[in-house]
């Protein structure tokens, strides 16, 4: 492609309402153009990137044995009523009536439609398993669309659905998709992690998310650098500390801590490490039988409560945080100075995090404003607590798979694989006849990739002050040729045209910047739009038979002999 | 692809509500599955065809210098209000409100969105011309969706829009698209015709339709086999006959024609050719000044009135057909026996078709029930009429381009190119600065292809009692291998697997039917789904080193040496 025949529309400044870096850069680079809130036009440059992502996804899905089909975007309401989601789904589901007043939705997802297709066509176990997928524009009426194409309302998605005659076979295909997704993100050249959406082990789990790693990501991921373990921070198990509790060494004392309510302030005031303070979080559970339970959740001062984990304690499921009035009513003291010592255990339940259970000589509130207890020890000063995993993991925690220590990173979810089991097959009566002629409900899996979201996520992962930095596999062009004086120097023009022809012939995705612009403008544009390899052709270099090469991430350009340039680029592109 | 790994869902019978042959066959072959009225899922088999069509369209559009982008399906109402189409467009335009009660449409077409994109990005004549296109799922809320994918509500379309700094440059690109569309339909292997949507000459016209020829088509096309001339029958000009009027030979007579009202009955009764009878059609025009004009339109008995042409007569524009009461009031006789002889020309206007003007000794109604006038001659028996082109052309008429005789065929419109000129650019303020720095409104063209419609049209053109007959370029597979006894004979299995591997390696799009089915079932399925080339492998042939080859249209199979089969298929596929 020659820039003179392309449609470049780079901007000096991103629009003021762009929030995140990828959105700003995509608008500045002319990848996309806003049409309405969360709705974008993919301009020719951006569409090249989108299609490259789409093609990698398609190739790998086909390679994995899935079959592509194309379901309608507009779906009849009847199917959603049958599955029950017509009522369950919130206002993100765009519903409308056609001219005959029949109800439809614009599909944000296609479980109902695909289950309807399969129940009509698949009758026998001999037709199973089957995995059908599509790459399709979807619509989800987000209440607050944001982050450009990462949380738009109209977006491109690959959604696949597999159908099986047994749970074992579903698990086999789930593993196949786990591997396929890993191959896809590897081929796209992205740093990513497969994250267990529940227990964290691949075998028995029902759901994995695939995250592109980026500091700006919305999700915290706990992962083990020494193994495959990765889980959403909220879901990673915090193991019990390997060490056991030390014997008490200090006496219990009530200590004046005037105005020190936060653990950090108390630790600083007492000149103790934060990990020596225990924080008490007061919660209330009101069960259906109207019996109210007031409880203290004990965590180390440097840890955070994990509400999902806490809600798994049967005695307080479900729970809410106690109000100041309720805390005063139960403990005679306002929050900030409350603690588990000297309280009526008939009226106040106490649940301690695993890491609190091994503490000794610790500090906690004294249930008296302005005072904390120091030198506190379980067994001696208060009863042993019930022990649970109540906190988010932190960097340095042991990995739940026993293979090292956890680290924490941030990610953007771009893929999700899920064992649906029989939820939709049951609701829609999607069954088959087994070997003995008996009707059985199918097992089902679903597998999604946010194709347009990947483009945003890749730019969140790859950018610098000059603009977009993309892997060659998904950059709009792999190589750019920037001639200095294409319209002035015959020699430069001839060399540029020749190299352009050679690279095209060699199968490179190359763009020749033949605009009559200053070199600075051309360099800035090619960097902004994220071309990974740049060859500059100038009269001076040509005299020595040389081109100037610079990788998008390189600090300096290097001179390369004209005769070596194709081989050099080949090497760079294969190495990616 | 092996059928055992594909998803075949052929049906013995088409659903009862399927109306046309392509719809029936696509449902039977498992190309598509109905989701709602006018809304279909493209099953894996059908999607292969759809994608092949799409790819040819994309390749040729890129080759022609157009740039692909992707606009949103969901469009803000504001743009439609700006162009005025918010009011003008009927209920086919699906309008809806999002969760914030903002109004949107699901785009049936994208003139507004593309004009908005271009007005925001293009400022200078140096950025023109530009041609942007997309391949996108569109929605049009048809009141009565029918004919399967040929008039569905959700459909895949290629729509392109070009922008120019002059009308001349628009005409250049229009010619480029005329050629590109011709290449596209040629490559797809379809019999087609470019049809002028108005005057019929390529140069100065503003619009052409591209029709796939099929007897079941909705549109009648007049074309000249000896030239490029083609036009919708309603729009083709009927030239004046080359011959001049013969001298009167008969005397005027009032002849009893009891009960003979239709021209054909009169001709038969009088033993005259139908072309010797003149039919008089009574019309009334009521102008704004409330003056009423009553007129007779005279046509040859074997010709049909063309209302579009008649409405171009200024004196009766607009007109409607006169009621029986009105005819009696003006002529004293009910329709069936009316005519232009002996009437008060002050009160009744007479307009004759060009072919009537050269008639002599003709027959017309006598304005008396049960009687016709015979031996009628202009000039002698009634005044010379005003002469116009009032009729539809018929086969045998001279071609308006003077290059031969017209023939008539039927077609299905699958493409349309159109010179929009400044309609949208004016309404949306899409302008540029010319060489002298002056602001000018852009000239604009638009170019559409119904991608999914082509699949239906191709099947209307290609089918027989066994099923679908498609050109190799768009068939779901080019070649099928049908082994007789794949699961019983080692030799057959080995030969089939080997040929399958050889053909795949040779770049053929091949399917191996390795299902454990009877040969009759496999033959019928492969014929139904439209595979153009079939190789049957059986033990008997193998003994002689031979395969059986049969083209989809061939009456008989032929035996071909195993060693020649690849070359034979290569020849057949290149020949297409």
What is the CB neighbour count within 10 angstroms for residue B166? Answer: 15
Least confident of A39-43, A45-49, B19-23: B19-23
For residue A204, what pLDDT band results from cuts at 50, 70 and 90? very low
| Contact between A505 and A535 (Cβ < 8 Å) | no
| Contact between B327 and B333 (Cβ < 8 Å) | yes
Contacts of A116 in chain B (CB under 8 A): 35
Residue from B7, B34, B139 to probe the interface with A (highest A Cβ count within 10 Å): B7
Angle at A121 between CA B151 and CA B483, to 5 degrees: 100
Closest chain A residue to B41, measured at CA: A71
Report the sign of the C-alpha dihedral through residues B459, B461, B467, B468, in that order.
negative
Q: At what angle do helices A565-575 and A490-505 cross, to 10 degrees?
A: 40
The residues, any chain, with a CB within 8 Å of residue A43's CB and separated by 6 or more, are: A7, A9, A30, A31, A32, A33, B69, B117
Q: Smallest Cα–Cα separation from A525: which of A308, A238, A517?
A: A517
> Which A positions 132-171 lie with beta carbon below 8 A of chain B?
132, 136-137, 139, 141, 143, 153-154
What is the mean pLDDT of the segment spanning A118-142? 95
The reply to whether A96 touches chain B by the CB within 8 Å rule is yes
Give the DSSP letter of residue B399. P
Residue A202 backbone dihedrals phi, psi, to 5 degrees = -70, -45
Residue that is written with structure tokens 């000459």 in the block = B201
Do β-strands B479-483 and B533-537 pair in parallel, antiparallel, or remain unpaired? parallel
Q: For chain A, how far is it from start to end, CA to CA, in angstroms?
A: 22
pLDDT in tens, chain B (576 residues): 999 999 988 998 888 888 899 999 999 999 999 999 999 999 999 999 999 999 999 999 999 999 999 999 999 999 999 999 999 888 888 899 999 999 999 988 999 999 999 999 999 999 999 999 999 999 998 888 888 899 899 999 999 999 999 999 999 999 999 999 999 999 999 999 999 876 433 334 589 999 999 998 888 999 998 988 898 888 889 999 988 999 999 999 999 999 999 999 999 999 999 999 999 999 999 887 768 899 999 999 999 999 989 998 999 988 999 999 999 999 999 999 999 999 998 899 999 999 999 999 999 999 999 999 999 999 999 999 999 999 999 999 999 999 999 999 999 999 999 999 999 999 999 999 999 999 999 999 999 999 999 999 999 999 999 999 999 999 999 999 999 999 999 999 999 999 999 999 999 999 999 999 999 999 999 999 999 999 999 999 999 999 999 999 999 999 999 999 999 999 999 865
Residue B71 backbone dihedrals phi, psi, to 5 degrees = -90, 160
Size of interface A-B (CB pairs under 8 A): 131
Q: Round the average pLDDT of chain A to a whole number and report it.
A: 93
Query: Looking at residue B19, what is its pLDDT?
Result: 87
Name the residue among B6, B99, B136 with its Cβ closest to that of A143.
Answer: B99
Q: How far lies B453's CA from each of A301, B412, B458, in Å? A: 67, 9, 9
Closest chain B residue to A36, measured at CA: B76
The reply to whether A379 touches chain B by the CB within 8 Å rule is no
The reply to whether A110 touches chain B by the CB within 8 Å rule is no
Residue B439 backbone dihedrals phi, psi, to 5 degrees = -75, 130
Whether B36 sits inside 8 A of A76 (CB atoms) is yes
| Contact between B502 and B566 (Cβ < 8 Å) | yes
Which tokens in the block code for residue B366?
């006598």
> Which B positions 30-69 lie with beta carbon below 8 A of chain A?
30, 33, 35-36, 39-44, 47, 50, 65, 67-69
Residue from B30, B35, B156 to probe the interface with A (highest A Cβ count within 10 Å): B35
Distance from CA of B72 to the nearest CA of A (A): 6
Whether A96 sits inside 8 A of B91 (CB atoms) is no
Whether B113 sits inside 8 A of A41 (CB atoms) is yes
Residue A536 backbone dihedrals phi, psi, to 5 degrees = -100, 135
A396: left (phi over 0), alpha (psi -120 to 50) or beta: left
Name the residue among B6, B39, B120 with its Cβ closest to that of A72.
Answer: B39
| Contact between B439 and B146 (Cβ < 8 Å) | no
Name the residue among A5, A67, A137 with its Cβ closest to that of B6.
Answer: A67
Contacts of A163 in chain B (CB under 8 A): none
Name the residue among A33, A71, A132 with its Cβ closest to that of B117.
Answer: A33
- Choose between B228 and A313: higher pLDDT: A313
Residue from B99, B133, B137 to probe the interface with A (highest A Cβ count within 10 Å): B99
Whether A69 sits inside 8 A of B44 (CB atoms) is yes
Whether A72 sits inside 8 A of B43 (CB atoms) is no
Name the residue among A7, A76, A116 with its Cβ closest to that of B130.
Answer: A7
A439-458 in b/e form (b: 16+ CB < 10 A) is ebbbbbbbbbbbbbbbbbbb
Residue A542 backbone dihedrals phi, psi, to 5 degrees = -60, -35
Contacts of B99 in chain A (CB under 8 A): 91-92, 141, 143
Whether B71 sits inside 8 A of A35 (CB atoms) is yes
Mapped to the 3 state alphabet, what secondary structure does A489-524 carry? CHHHHHHHHHHHHHHHHCCCCEEECCCCCCHHHHHH
Whether A39 sits inside 8 A of B65 (CB atoms) is no
Query: Looking at residue B387, what is its pLDDT?
Result: 96
Closest chain A residue to B71, measured at CA: A41
What is the CB neighbour count within 10 angstroms for residue B411? Answer: 27
Whether A35 sits inside 8 A of B68 (CB atoms) is no
For residue A72, what pLDDT band results from cuts at 50, 70 and 90? very high
Alpha carbons A542 and A492: distance in angstroms, whole number? 8
Query: How high is the ipTM of this complex?
Result: 0.88
Residue from A11, A27, A35 to probe the interface with B (highest B Cβ count within 10 Å): A35
Alpha carbons B215 and B339: distance in angstroms, whole number? 37
| Contact between A110 and A161 (Cβ < 8 Å) | yes
Alpha carbons B103 and B95: distance in angstroms, whole number? 7
Q: How far lies B462's CA from each of B212, B344, B467, B529, in Å? A: 11, 57, 9, 12
Which tokens in the block code for residue B360?
């002599």
Contacts of A71 in chain B (CB under 8 A): 35, 41-42
pLDDT tens digit string along A326-341? 999 999 999 999 999 9
Q: Give the three-class secondary structure for A566.
A: helix
| Contact between B173 and B165 (Cβ < 8 Å) | no
Q: What percent of chain A has pLDDT over 70?
A: 98
Query: Looking at residue A201, what is its pLDDT?
Result: 39
pLDDT tens digit string along A82-95? 999 998 888 888 89
| Contact between B338 and B322 (Cβ < 8 Å) | no
DSSP per-residue codes, A89-144: S-TTSEEEE-TT--EEEE-S--HHHHHHHHHHH--BGGG--EEEEEEEEEE---SS
Name the residue among B9, B68, B102 with its Cβ closest to that of A121.
Answer: B9
Whether A47 sits inside 8 A of B40 (CB atoms) is no
Do β-strands B94-97 and B103-106 pair in parallel, antiparallel, or remain unpaired? antiparallel
Distance from CA of B70 to the nearest CA of A (A): 5
Do β-strands B192-196 and B207-213 pair in parallel, antiparallel, or remain unpaired? antiparallel
Name the residue among B35, B92, B94 with its Cβ closest to that of A72.
Answer: B35
Name the residue among B67, B132, B137 with its Cβ closest to that of A137.
Answer: B137
Query: Looking at residue A200, what is its pLDDT?
Result: 39
Query: Looking at residue B204, what is its pLDDT?
Result: 43
Alpha carbons A342 and A345: distance in angstroms, whole number? 9
| Contact between A406 and A395 (Cβ < 8 Å) | yes
Whether B41 sits inside 8 A of A99 (CB atoms) is no
| Contact between B180 and B131 (Cβ < 8 Å) | no
């Amino acid at each position: 492609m020659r820039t003179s025949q392309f449609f470049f529309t780079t901007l000096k400044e991103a629009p003021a309402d762009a929030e995140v870096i990828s959105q700003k850069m995509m608008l500045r680079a002319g990848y996309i153009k806003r049409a309405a809130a969360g709705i974008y036009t993919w301009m020719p440059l951006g569409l090249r990137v989108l299609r490259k992502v789409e093609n990698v996804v398609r190739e790998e899905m086909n390679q994995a044995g899935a079959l592509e089909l194309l379901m309608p975007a507009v779906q009849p309401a009847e199917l959603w009523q049958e599955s029950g989601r017509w009522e369950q789904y919130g206002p993100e589901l765009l519903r409308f009536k056609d001219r005959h007043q029949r109800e439809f939705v614009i599909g944000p997802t296609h479980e109902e439609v695909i289950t309807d297709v399969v129940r009509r066509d698949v009758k026998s176990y001999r037709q199973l398993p089957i995995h059908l997928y599509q790459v399709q524009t979807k619509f989800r009426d987000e209440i607050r669309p944001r982050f450009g194409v990462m949380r738009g309302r109209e977006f491109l998605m690959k959604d696949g659905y597999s159908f099986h005659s047994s749970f074992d076979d579903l698990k086999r295909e789930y593993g196949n998709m786990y591997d396929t997704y890993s191959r896809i993100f590897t081929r796209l050249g992205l740093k990513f992690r497969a994250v267990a959406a529940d227990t964290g082990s691949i075998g028995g789990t029902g759901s994995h998310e695939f995250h592109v790693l980026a500091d700006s990501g919305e999700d915290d991921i706990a992962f083990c650098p020494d193994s495959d373990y990765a889980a959403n921070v909220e879901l990673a198990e915090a193991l019990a500390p390997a060490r056991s509790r030390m014997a008490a060494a200090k006496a219990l004392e009530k200590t004046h801590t005037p105005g020190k309510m936060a653990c950090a302030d108390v630790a600083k005031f007492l000149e103790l490490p934060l990990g020596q303070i225990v924080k008490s979080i007061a919660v209330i559970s009101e069960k259906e039988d109207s019996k109210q339970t007031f409880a203290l959740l004990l965590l180390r001062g440097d840890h955070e409560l994990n509400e999902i984990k806490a809600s798994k304690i049967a005695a307080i499921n479900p729970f809410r945080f106690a109000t100041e009035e309720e805390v005063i009513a139960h403990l005679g003291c306002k929050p900030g100075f409350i603690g588990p010592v000297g309280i009526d255990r008939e009226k106040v339940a106490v649940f301690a995090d695993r890491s609190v259970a091994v503490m000794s000589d610790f500090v906690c509130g004294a249930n008296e404003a302005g005072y904390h207890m120091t030198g506190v020890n379980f067994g001696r000063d208060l009863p042993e607590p019930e022990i649970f995993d109540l906190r988010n993991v932190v960097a340095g925690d042991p990995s739940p798979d026993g293979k090292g220590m956890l680290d924490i990173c941030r990610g953007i979810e771009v893929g999700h694989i899920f064992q649906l089991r029989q939820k939709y097959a049951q609701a829609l009566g999607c069954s088959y006849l087994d070997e003995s002629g008996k009707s059985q409900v199918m097992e089902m899996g679903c597998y999604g990739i946010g194709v347009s979201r990947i483009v945003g996520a890749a730019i969140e992962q790859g950018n610098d002050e000059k603009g977009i930095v993309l892997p060659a596999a998904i950059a709009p062009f792999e190589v750019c040729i920037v001639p200095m004086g294409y319209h002035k120097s015959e020699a430069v023009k001839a060399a540029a045209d020749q190299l352009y022809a050679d690279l095209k012939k060699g199968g490179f995705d190359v763009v020749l910047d033949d605009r009559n612009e200053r070199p600075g403008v051309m360099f800035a544009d090619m960097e902004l739009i994220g071309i990974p390899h740049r060859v500059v052709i100038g009269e001076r270099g040509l005299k020595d038979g040389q081109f100037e090469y610079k990788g998008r991430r390189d600090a300096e350009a290097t001179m390369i002999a004209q005769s070596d340039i194709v081989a050099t680029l080949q090497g760079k592109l294969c190495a990616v």
